[in-house]
Amino acid sequence: MPKPTSIFVCQNCGAQSRKWVGRCFECGEWDSMVEEKPRPTPSADQKRLTADVEAPQPITQIQASEEERIRTGIAELDRILGGGIVPGSAVLIGGDPGIGKSTLLLQAANEVSRQGYRSLYVTGEESLLQTKLRADRLGTASDNLLLVAETDMDIILSHIGQVKPSLVVMDSIQMAYKSDLESSPGSVSQVRECAGQMVYLAKRTGIPVFLIGHVTKAGAIAGPRVLEHMVDTVLYFEGDKYQSFRILRAVKNRFGSTNEIAVFEMRHDGLKEVANPSHLFLSRREHAPPGSAVVPCLEGTRALLVEIQALTARATFGMPERKVSGVDRNRVSMLLAVLDKRAGMQLGGQDVFVNVVGGVQVDEPGADLGIALAIASSFREKRVPPDVAVVGEIGLGGEVRGVSQIETRLKEAEKLGFKQALVPTDNRGGAKPSALRLAFVASLSEALEVLT
């Protein structure tokens, strides 16, 4: 039988080729094809079935029991996981270097250990001394928190079998390797094989596993895309190195919502939960200049009040500029066209800049009315009253359409001291009486009257 030949695998998307190519034919990434030698084909006796293989069962005879989740002691993390750690689950967490992945999971493992559970933290990027120094800075010191510095997958599995922990954290999956694979750690085959063994361990033993993953320049988890399909939950850390807060977002969750976010603040002693994140995204409203509007946005079940700022200025260099941060650029272009056509604002010769304060990303169409009012406020040099919250989707005809969960949004605005709110007429039935004075608007022209 001929020996298996080498193949070339894309480090970005996992595409395979029999010969080296400079550019991946699947994802278009340059210089991403790496040579890998396949594992030898197992012999017949190696393929024999083991005694612990379960036979197929009728679905009606399987006993479903609701297992109690393990609380991490960090309320924000528990909420984004769907109420805590599910036994036997595999969670992948990614983010830029230094954003706080290892810090958060070390704190979570310590909190779990303080509840009497035994946690095993496997570090492949730091020595035990370095991890200990970081733990001392974070104030984590539980006898049930065990550390080991190892990258060999077989040894890691042996440690897990001996310790029998209730939680395993692997930092990071790209550093682990299988000795019987000839490729280097971090390659597609190594990441796929090591992650597969950790996921299988979680399902077979019921031990929840957290995997820390590196990210590429584009911000995606490094390694094959199948890695995100193998795990139960995928969390992404977002944040700016110039800002102190961090946002943890769930992009996949088999045991909870994928629309939730958790907000943390990075301090010298670790990540701290932000109980009321709306304060982070609002500046000094009493002295807000023209071009500012506050919008109650939804992130999962949580309402956040964010401040949207806009600036218009006469274009002096030919083609007017359109610069946005925190909102969709195409959405802003559409709103500028609606303001021009339906409200008579000549914005074709104006540079327009739109920014969401605090670096948060706003994706929902319910922020349309706030963006439009902020632009109009800057253009007319008349500010939106600082005690007014604005919400609504704008159609191409200039109509203001209703939004979901209006009551949740209004409660958040009322809690933060706002007195008035501009609300779509379509939400008149869902807006229950409150201390806010509600002004129902059906069109953009009606909403613009607040600036007159």
Question: What pLDDT score does 184 carry?
Answer: 81
- Residue 433 pLDDT > 70, yes or no? no
Q: What is the pTM of this model?
A: 0.74
pLDDT of residue 108: 94
Range in 13-27, 97-111, 352-366 the model is least confident about: 13-27
* Residue 30 DSSP label: B
Taking 50 as the threshold, does the pLDDT of residue 188 lie above it? yes
Please state which CATH class domain 68-275 belongs to.
Answer: alpha beta
What pLDDT is recorded for position 241?
Answer: 63
- Of 107-116, 170-179, 278-287, 427-436, the range with the lowest mean pLDDT is 278-287
pLDDT level of residue 369 (50, 70, 90 thresholds): very high
CATH of 279-451, one of 1.20.120.1200, 3.10.180.10, 3.30.479.30, 3.30.230.10: 3.30.230.10
Is 377 a residue whose pLDDT tops 90?
A: yes
Q: Which of 225, 320, 239 is nearest to 24 (CA)?
A: 225
Write out the two tokens for 439: 């002004």
Report helix, strand or coil for 205: helix
Is 262 in contact with 247 (CB distance < 8 Å)?
A: yes
Q: Yes or no: say if 241 and 98 are a contact pair by the CB < 8 Å rule.
A: yes
Mean pLDDT of 369-376: 96
Provide φ and ψ at 25, rounded to 5°.
-80, -10
| Strand ranges for 95-232 from DSSP E | 119-123, 145-149, 167-171, 209-213
pLDDT for position 44 = 46
What's the CA gap between 340 and 345, in Å, rounded? 5
The two three-digit tokens of residue 365, written as one number = 């169409």
Distances (CA, A) of 436 to 370, 387, 388, 402, 416: 17, 10, 9, 18, 11
For residue 423 the two structure tokens come to 């609300």
What six digits make up the tokens of 232?
């139960």
pLDDT at 9 exceeding the cut of 90: no
Give the confidence band of 187 by pLDDT, cuts at 50, 70, 90. confident
Per DSSP, helices labelled H in 344-397 are 368-380
Structure tokens at 189: 């085959």
Q: Where are the domains of the chain?
A: 1-40, 68-275, 279-451
- For the chain, the 3-state helix, strand and coil shares in percent, each to the nearest 5, are 30, 25, 45
- Its sign, for the CA torsion 19, 23, 24, 29, is positive
Q: Is the pLDDT of residue 332 over 50?
A: yes
Tell me which residue of 426, 422, 427 sits closest to 445, measured CA to CA.
Answer: 422
pLDDT at 47: 46
Bond into 172 cis (ω within 30):
yes
The pLDDT value recorded for residue 448 is 92
The per-residue pLDDT for 67 is: 66
- Cα(361)–Cα(265) distance, integer angstroms: 17
The residue ranking higher by pLDDT, 238 or 427, is: 427
